[in-house]
Amino acid sequence: MKKLILSFLLVACSGSAIADSGLSSSAPGSKVYVISPQGGETVSSPVLVRFGLSGMGVAPSGVVRVNTGHHHLLIDMKVLPDLKQPLVGSDNLRHFGKGQTEAELMLSPGEHTLQLVLADHAHTPHSSPLVSERITIHVK
């Protein structure tokens, strides 16, 4: 009997490993977006960027909790990074691992793009990734 239970567990586990991509799942219908500034807006530096999230919650990096993540802000990135890998921080990709929901950015005068990506406790985007629209702003 013990053997039967064990083999059942093995089948159950391997079944879920195949079905599961290994990525955290996002809540259906959830959305990440830039609250402000708005696309096309002219602003002066420092620019206060406010991060919006609906349908999921914000948790600091390292905290494993279902349907949560932390914000990553992509600045002037024309191409998305690999969303199946942990996001690597740089001047153009900022982590907000303390669970921040806004940031003040020093931006040079001219056109800049902003885009948000939510990622899980290990900085990896969810299996249905939450990526905002890429907005363009003008800095005076």
Give the residues lining the site for Cu ion (CB under 5 A): 95, 123
Number of neighbours of residue 101 by Cβ within 10 angstroms: 14
Nearest-approach distance from CB 122 to Cu ion, in angstroms: 8
Nearest-approach distance from CB 1 to Cu ion, in angstroms: 46
Residue type, 108: S
Residue closer to Cu ion (CB basis): 34 or 124 = 124
Residue closer to Cu ion (CB basis): 112 or 123 = 123
Number of neighbours of residue 136 by Cβ within 10 angstroms: 12
Residue closer to Cu ion (CB basis): 89 or 110 = 89
Nearest-approach distance from CB 32 to Cu ion, in angstroms: 13
- Report the distance separating Cα 128 and Cα 55, nearest Å: 13
Side-chain-side CA neighbours of residue 9 (13 Å): 6
Nearest-approach distance from CB 72 to Cu ion, in angstroms: 6
Contact (Cβ atoms closer than 8 angstroms) between residue 52 and residue 58? no
- Residue reference for tokens 């586990």: 13
